[in-house]
Structure 1
Amino acid sequence: MYAYDIETGVRPPSHVDGRSARAERTRQAVIDAHIALIRAGELKPTGAEIAARAGVSLRSLWGHFGDLEKLFEATGAELLRRQDDAYEPVDPSLPLSERIDAYCRQRAELLEFIAPFARSSEVRAPFSRELQHNRLRYFERAAFEARVLFARELEGVGSEVRCQIESSIAISTTWPMWVSLRDVLRLPVPDAVEVMKRVVKALIAEAVAARRPATVG
C-alpha cells in the first residue's frame, strides 16, 4: 500500500504528520523562549527557565534538543534566518563614499540587534563549540559582504593583502569592534558608526594603493 496518492504524489493526513507538526511547534516555542529570555537580559537562561517560558516540560525540552549545544545551534540558525529575512544588500554600483556609509549603518543596525545574544555568547562561548562556530559564521558573512560590496576597490590587489584587508573589514564591522565602541568607550550609536566608517574607509584606501599596476599589452 502506498503512503501517498501515486497519481498526485500528495500524502494523506496522518497521525504521524500531526505528531511531527506538534514536535516542530514545540521546538519553535523553545527556540523563541530562549531568544526572548536573552533579549530580556538573562545571559545564561537555564533549561528550566526556557521550558517555563515556552510552556513545555523540562523533559520535553531535552527530549527535542538533547543538550545545550543542539539548542545553541538551533537558536543561532533562527537568528540568522531572521537577519536574512530583514537583509537588503547595499547596491555595489553606488559611489564608494555612499557604499561605506550604507554598509556601516547596516552593520550597526545588525550589531544592535544581536547585542544581547553576543553578550550571552561571551559568557558561554569559551565552553561551547557551537557558540564559537556561530561567531565564525558571523565573521565569514561580514567578510563575504565586504568582498562583494567593495569588489571594484579590491580588484587587482594581491591575494594575501586582499585577504588581510577583507578580514580587517570584517573585524572592524563585527561584535569585537562594536562591543569596544559601545560598552567600553560608551559611544552612542551615531558616533560608533562614524568610527567604523573611518576604519573601513582607511582599509579601502589601503586596498586601492596596493593594486598591481595594469599590465601593458
Structure 2
Amino acid sequence: MRALIGAGEMNPSAAQIAERAGVSLRSVFRHFEDMDSLYREIAALVEAEVMPLALRPFEATDWRARLVELTARRADIFERILPFRVAGAARRFQSAYLMDDYRRTVALEQSALKAILPAAIAGDPLLFAALDVVTSFDAWRRMRQDQGLSIKKAEAAMRLAVERLTAGL
C-alpha cells in the first residue's frame, strides 16, 4: 500500500494492494483485520522516516533564522509525506485512527512552531494563526498540487509569507 500511495494511487483497493504485494486478497485481510491497522503500519513507516528530520536541533540561534530553517525543514518533510497525507485526508472522515493521527500531527506542527517563536508572537492569536497556516502541510499541498509550483518555488513562497508576516517585529 505504501508503494501504491507513493506512486500516486491515493485510494488503493485491497485487490490492488494484494496484486502489488504478490499475495492473495485473503492474505491482505488476514494480515490486516481492518484498514485502520494498515494505515497504522504505513504511518509508523512514514513517521520513522520523517521524525528524525523534524526533531533535529536547529542550527540557528535566533528566532528569525530558526523560522527560516523551519520552513526549509517543513518543505523537505512535507514533500516526502505528500502522497501519504493526501491519501489519508481522503479517508480521515471515515477512520477514527486517521482523524486522530491528523489532529496529532497538526498539534505537533503547531507546538514546533510555537516553540521557536518569541512569546509576543506565539501569544498573538491572529499572527500565530497566520504563521501556522502559511507553514502548514495544507498550504504546501495547495502550492504543490493546486498551484503547480515546483518544490523550490513552493518553499520560496512559504518563506516569503513568513518573512512578510514577521517584518518589523
What is the TM-score with the length of structure 2 in the denominator?
0.81
Q: Residues of 2 paired with 1:105 and 1:144: CA distance?
A: 17
Aligned partner of 2:40 in structure 1 is 73
Which of 66, 69, 91 is 2:59 aligned to? 91
Q: Residues of 2 paired with 1:127 and 1:205: CA distance?
A: 41
Equivalent residues in 2 for 1:121-136 (5 A)? Answer: 121-136=88-103
Aligned partner of 1:52 in structure 2 is 19
Are the aligned partners of 1:138 and 1:174 in contact in 2 as well (CA < 8 Å)?
Answer: no
Q: Residues of 2 paired with 1:189 and 1:80: CA distance?
A: 21
**Which segments of 5 or more consecutive residues in structure 2 lack a partner in the other structure?**
none
- Residue 113 in 1 paired to residue 88 in 2? no
- Residue 170 in 1 paired to residue 138 in 2? no
Q: Residues of 1 paired with 2:111 and 2:151: CA distance?
A: 24
Structure 1 residue matching 2:10: 3-state secondary structure? coil
Equivalent residues in 2 for 1:32-43 (5 A)? Answer: 34-43=1-10
* Superposed displacement of residue 72, structure 1: 1.4
Question: Which one has a bigger Cα radius of gyration?
Answer: 1
- Residue 198 in 1 paired to residue 166 in 2? no
Q: Residues of 2 paired with 1:158 and 1:51: CA distance?
A: 47
The residue identity in structure 2 corresponding to 1:198 is L
Structure 1 residue matching 2:73: 3-state secondary structure? helix
* Superposed displacement of residue 166, structure 1: 4.1
Q: Residues of 2 paired with 1:138 and 1:158: CA distance?
A: 19
**Which segments of 5 or more consecutive residues in structure 1 lack a partner in the other structure?**
1-33, 209-217
Q: Residues of 2 paired with 1:130 and 1:158: CA distance?
A: 29
The residue identity in structure 1 corresponding to 2:70 is Y
Aligned partner of 2:149 in structure 1 is 187
Q: How many residues align?
A: 168
